[in-house]
Amino acid sequence: MAFKSTLLASAAIIAFATPGLASARTAEDARIKALEAQVADLKAAVEALKAASAPHEAPPAVPVASQDDVDALRAQVADLKTSTASSVAALRSDALSTTVSIANGKPTIASADGKFSATFHGVMQLDTAKYFQDDHLPTAVTARDLSGGANFRRARIGIDGKVFGNFDYNILFDFGGGGAEDAGRVQELWVQYSGLKPWRFRVGAFAPPLGLEDAASTNGALFPERAAAADIARGLAGGDTRVGGGVIGNGDHWFVSAIATGPLVQSLNSGATAFNAPIFDEQQSFALRAAATPWFGYDWLVHVGANASVVAQPTDLGASAATRYALQLRERPELRVDGTRLVDTGQIDSKGARALGLELAFQKQALTVEGEYFDIRLDRRNPAVGATDPKFSGWYVEGGWMLTGERRKYNLTTAAFDAPPVDKVFNPQKGAWGAWELTARYSTVDLNYAERALVAANRVRGGEQDIWTLGVNWYPNPDVKFMLDYYAVSVDRLNAAGAQIGQDYQSINLRSQLAF
């Protein structure tokens, strides 16, 4: 019975190996060939048994299998072939169920049921700027020679998608910066549960939506940078790389978000080192926003909204810091090839702060107009005699007109405007020249408070900045964008001695962008 035992053992080994097929798809073909070879060997053995049991053959020297054993072995071989075919079909069906696609340049891998996906995305924004300044500025002016040249404003690569259907994620790293590129940092890293529609619960590092400009993607923005007032307000409780958690929800005509936020993800970004000192007690803040489109039609809509940033506890920089609980409002002049901030309140020892914003926008076919107003107040920790809590403000209005007739997309999940579609992708041979857009903006921010008061401790001479911007945007296709903008900047600011350190100048910037 040794031969019978050997055959049965071989069949058992093959049967045991079959479930392992699904664990290694890459070895599928090799395993199938091996199974087919072993089945062929079993067939040959069965034929040998038949021949050995024929009347004209000599009796075997060892015991042979009976006809019942042969029939049983045939049944095992048949079962093995059936199970192998089923396993191979299941493996091949499972492999074919995974889809790989590219939509508008974004490669995506997804399961057939859509519960698992991974989409690769990236953005490159190269700014090339020239500054035109007076050659005879007063000696008190500190930014007498702003640096023109080129700067990778954003250089990002990341991946986003779904896991187990109801969980979304986003991982994004940025190697760009303001005035100088970065060594690389976490830009966004969050996970979100979306199983209780219309609500989404998010935690991680991300920029909470704090206004119309802030909620919009920088890839499709009207201008290279946000308006100064909007950027200052978002920096209090939100901004890039902010750690937080909260809830976001939206319907067809409404949007609400409430995020509890902490500190910024620490990095070695050269433009942010002043705020990257050791932290003892991290900032605790809240970022709130509500927006709606109460009036709308086939080709028009009106957007209204309000937002609030509340700093409940500023960062504790430690007893050795010059200002232990510092809040500081400052901003670059809406262009970051040169990273100099021309308006700056300096560090103010504060117990807390709040910024309130109002949003209004109107869209009619190819025309989009929007604006925001911000009121910012700081609560001094230990005010000197005669000092009061400082108040600041700023606002902007901007618009874009699509010369080629497209209409900017209103994103329901962010309650903000995205880039327009490109009806005719650039192709000179077919007379198609992409999408073209004219833009204009006026923005102002006032970081002065009692700047001429007799009580020096009450003065905040952060400066007042006004900027007119005119631009043209060209979208050859949905992934490529070029922006040409002209800036007329006016800064009115006094130093501690009362001398004028502001200036008027012009600049021009060309941005080249690839985003997928």
Is residue 246 helix, strand or coil?
strand
Distance CA 349, CA 209 (A): 27
Distance CA 468, CA 460 (A): 25
| 508 and 430 together in one domain | yes
Identify whether the C-beta of residue 397 lies closer than 8 Å to the C-beta of residue 369.
Answer: yes
Structure tokens at 98: 């995974």
| 81 and 206 together in one domain | no
Give the pLDDT of residue 183: 74
Give the pLDDT of residue 454: 87
Share of the chain above pLDDT 90, in %: 70
Please determine, for residue 273, whether its predicted confidence score (pLDDT) is greater than 50. Answer: no
Dihedral over alpha carbons 301, 440, 143, 504 (to 10 degrees): -130
Mean pLDDT of all residues in the chain?
Answer: 87
Identify whether the C-beta of residue 242 lies closer than 8 Å to the C-beta of residue 187.
Answer: no
For the stretch 459-492, pLDDT in tens is: 999 999 999 999 999 999 999 999 999 999 999 9
| 304 and 226 together in one domain | yes
| 185 and 75 together in one domain | no
Give the pLDDT of residue 66: 64
Count of Cβ atoms closer than 10 Å to residue 294 Cβ: 10
For the stretch 155-194, pLDDT in tens is: 999 999 999 999 999 999 999 888 777 778 889 999 999 9
| 222 and 297 together in one domain | yes
Give the pLDDT of residue 92: 61
Please determine, for residue 95, whether its predicted confidence score (pLDDT) is greater than 60. Answer: no
Determine the average pLDDT of the residues in 92-116: 82
Give the pLDDT of residue 112: 87
Locate tokens 């008027």: which residue?
504
For the stretch 35-47, pLDDT in tens is: 667 667 767 766 7
| 126 and 44 together in one domain | no
- Final residue before a domain boundary, out of 75, 97, 119: 97
Distance CA 36, CA 118 (A): 36
Please determine, for residue 53, whether its predicted confidence score (pLDDT) is greater than 60. Answer: no
DSSP letter, residue 475: E
Locate tokens 């985003």: which residue?
515
pTM across the whole model: 0.80
Find how far residue 26's CA is from the centre of its chain: 33
- Final residue before a domain boundary, out of 46, 65, 97: 97
For the stretch 342-356, pLDDT in tens is: 999 999 999 999 999
Omega within 30 of 0 (cis) for the link into 209:
no
Please determine, for residue 118, whether its predicted confidence score (pLDDT) is greater than 80. Answer: yes
| 116 and 132 together in one domain | yes
Please determine, for residue 306, whether its predicted confidence score (pLDDT) is greater than 90. Answer: yes
Please determine, for residue 369, whether its predicted confidence score (pLDDT) is greater than 60. Answer: yes
Structure tokens at 303: 């957007």
Range from 7-16, 75-84, 339-348, 503-512 carrying the lowest mean pLDDT: 7-16
List all residues 6 or more positions away from 460 whose beta carbon is below 8 Å from its beta carbon.
345, 346, 348, 390, 392, 447, 448, 449, 450, 451
What is the total residue count of the chain?
A: 516
Is residue 110 helix, strand or coil?
strand
Domain with 425, as residue range(s), is: 99-515
The count of domains in the chain is 2
Determine the average pLDDT of the residues in 429-445: 97
Helix/strand/coil (H/E/C) assignment for every residue in 144-178:
CCCCCEEEEEEEEEEEEEEECCCEEEEEEEECCCC
- Final residue before a domain boundary, out of 97, 112, 142: 97
Distance CA 358, CA 304 (A): 8
**What is the largest distance, in Å, between two alpha-carbon atoms of the chain?**
128
Identify whether the C-beta of residue 267 lies closer than 8 Å to the C-beta of residue 180.
Answer: no
| 150 and 181 together in one domain | yes
Instruction: Name the H helices within 98-138.
Output: none
The residue type at 198:
P
Distance CA 506, CA 424 (A): 34
Backbone angles phi, psi at 255, to 5 degrees: -150, 140
Question: Cα dihedral sign for 240, 241, 242, 246?
Answer: positive
Please determine, for residue 50, whether its predicted confidence score (pLDDT) is greater than 90. Answer: no
Distance CA 235, CA 309 (A): 9
Is residue 222 helix, strand or coil?
coil
Which H/E stretch holds residue 354? strand 348-364
Determine the average pLDDT of the residues in 134-162: 94
Q: Which residue has the higher pLDDT, 65 or 37?
A: 37
Residue 3 binned pLDDT confidence (cut-offs 50, 70, 90): very low
For the stretch 217-229, pLDDT in tens is: 999 999 999 999 9
CATH number (domain holding residue 450): 2.40.160.10
Distance CA 105, CA 128 (A): 25
| 459 and 473 together in one domain | yes
Locate tokens 């942010």: which residue?
272
| 176 and 279 together in one domain | yes
Give the pLDDT of residue 35: 64
Structure tokens at 34: 């091996």
Question: Cα dihedral sign for 87, 92, 93, 98?
Answer: positive
Backbone angles phi, psi at 85, to 5 degrees: -60, -40
Residue 55 binned pLDDT confidence (cut-offs 50, 70, 90): low
Range from 90-99, 171-180, 304-313, 475-484 carrying the lowest mean pLDDT: 90-99
| 33 and 107 together in one domain | no
Distance CA 409, CA 295 (A): 16
For the stretch 391-422, pLDDT in tens is: 999 999 999 999 999 999 999 999 999 999 99
| 81 and 107 together in one domain | no
Give the pLDDT of residue 28: 57
Structure tokens at 31: 């395993």
